Amino acid sequence: MIVKENFDIKNLTTYKIGGIVKTVYFPETQAEFIELIREHKDAIVLGSCSNILFSSNGYDGEVIVTTELKQFEIRGLHVYSSCGVKGPMLAQKTAEAGLSGFEFMIGFPGSIGGDICMNAGAHGQCISDNLVQCCLFDKEAGEVVYKTKEEMDFSYRHSLLKDGRYILVHAEFQLKKGTHEDIQALIDRNLEFRKNIQPSLANPNAGSVFKNPENDSAGRLLDKAGVKSFDLPRARVWENHANFIVNKGDATSEDILTLMVMMYNAVKNQYTIELKPEIIFIGNKTEKEEELWNIMCH
C-alpha cells in the first residue's frame, strides 16, 4: 500500500485546489481498505475528489483515497464494483457487454463510492435505480455489513453514507439487457449534451455548485439572477452554465467560497430561495472560510 506524508492533495481534486495533508493512504485491496478504516476511524475517505472543495490550508489529519480500488466484475446482468472504480469507465465497460443503466455516468468523473454517497444522477437515470446491495464498513460497530437498496435511504443527492457512519466497500448492481448500438448511442448523446452544458476538466471545476431546489433548477435561478457575469481574479462562473465555477489557474478555496456566497446571495435576494451547496468542503477552514461556509449552511 502506498502511504504519503505531507502530501499536496491539490492535484487529486478536479478543482486543482487543496493543501498539504499530514498522511494519505492509497489502499490497493478491499482487505487493506477495511483494515485502514478500522484502525483510522477519524480518517476522511475520498474517491475521485470530483465534487470536493479541499481547503487550501490542507488538513492535519489522515485521508484514505480509494483510487487504487479498481476491481469490478460483470456476471450476466449483475455488476460487482469496488468503491474506487470510475463511473465513466464502468459505463463504457457495461455498454460493451450490452448492459443498460449506467449511460448517465459517462459525463462525470466520480467514483462509484462517491456516486452512491450522493446518489448521483443525470438524464433521468441515477445510481440507486439499479443497485441491489452495498457492502459497507460500519465504523460504530467496527464490522462489515450489507445493506439492500431499500436500506440505503436514497433520496435526491442523499444516501445513508452521508452521515459518515458507513463507508462503501463495494456494491452490486443489476442492469438491463440492451444492444451495444442503442446503449452507445445514448452514451454519445449524453456526452454531447454535457459537452454543451458543463465545462471540461481542462477548466478545473467540481461539477454543479448548488443542489436543485424542489421543482426548480439551481442553474435557471442562478442564470436569472445574473451570476454568469461574476468574475473574480482567480475564479469565475462558467459562461455556458450558471451553476459551475471554474478555477482560472491558481484559485484558493477562499476564492471559490467567496464566489459561492455571491451566487447564493444573488438568488436569495431576487427569489428568497436559499440554495444548498452540492459541493462538499473538506479540510482546515480559516476563520473567513468558516464564516463564508456558514452563510450557506446555517
Structural contact between residues 211 and 157, judged by C-beta atoms closer than 8 angstroms: yes
Which amino acid makes up residue 292?
L
CATH class of the 218-296 domain in this structure: alpha beta
Record the pTM.
Answer: 0.94
Crossing angle of the two packed helices 87-96 and 180-197, in degrees rounded to 10:
150
Task: Look up 157 and say whether it is catalytic.
Answer: yes
Q: How far apart are CA 272 and CA 294, in angstroms?
A: 18
What are the sequence ranges of the domains in the chain? Answer: 2-65, 72-195, 218-296
**278 in catalytic set:** yes
Is residue 55 flagged as an active site residue?
no
Strands 44-46 and 59-65, sheet pairing? parallel
Q: Are 137 and 166 in contact (CB under 8 A)?
A: yes
At residue 188, φ and ψ (nearest 5 deg) are -65, -40
Classify residue 163 as exposed, middle or buried by CB count within 10 Å of its CB (0-12, 13-18, 19+).
exposed
**Does the 2-65 domain belong in CATH 3.10.20.30?**
no
Pull the grid cell for residue 79.
455488476
Catalytic residue among 157, 159, 236, 254: 157
How confident is the prediction along the chain (298 residues), in pLDDT tens digits per residue?
A: 999 999 999 999 999 999 999 999 999 999 999 999 999 999 999 999 999 999 999 999 999 999 999 999 999 999 999 999 999 999 999 999 999 999 999 988 899 999 999 999 888 889 999 999 999 999 999 999 999 999 999 998 899 999 999 999 999 999 999 999 999 999 999 998 888 788 888 899 999 999 999 999 999 999 999 999 999 999 999 999 999 999 999 999 999 999 999 999 999 999 999 999 999 999 999 999 999 999 999 8
Look up the CATH number of domain 72-195.
Answer: 3.30.465.10
